[in-house]
Amino acid sequence: MSEPERRWRSQLAQIVAQQGFIHGSLLERQRVCGKPTCRCTRGHKHRAVYLMLVQKGHTRQLYVPKRFEESVRQWVRTFHTLRELMDQVSDVYWEKVQKRQG
């Protein structure tokens, strides 16, 4: 196993063991609540954050309450970090197959 592969595998293991992660993206929306006297009817719309995910060909979304927003943002970032590390390890094995190495 090469030094870069060992390093990437080690980073993957540490992240999985120590941090939460979630597959998805965050979407921020501005919306009007519908109350006739609310300030959102005068242009100051409410901010809402949603976790978006495609599962089995269907887009799913889940409202993220403000008190969970930073945690969810971190979990999404962690997932993207894991994905990048997995892609790097995968590239090593792609080259092995390409060069017909075991």
Structural domain total, the chain: 1
* pLDDT one-digit tens code per residue, 82-96: 999 999 989 988 888
pLDDT higher than 70, residue 102: no
* pLDDT one-digit tens code per residue, 19-52: 899 999 999 999 898 899 999 988 899 999 999 9
Domain hosting 27: range is: 3-98
Check if the beta carbon of residue 5 is closer than 8 Å to that of residue 92: yes
Cβ atoms < 10 Å from Cβ of 64: 20
Check if the beta carbon of residue 46 is closer than 8 Å to that of residue 30: yes
CA 101 to chain centre: 33
Mean pLDDT (the chain, rounded): 91
Beta strands across the sheet bearing 25-31: 25-31, 46-55, 58-64
In this prediction, residue 92 carries a pLDDT of: 87
Measured CA to CA, the distance from residue 23 to residue 12 in angstroms comes to 15
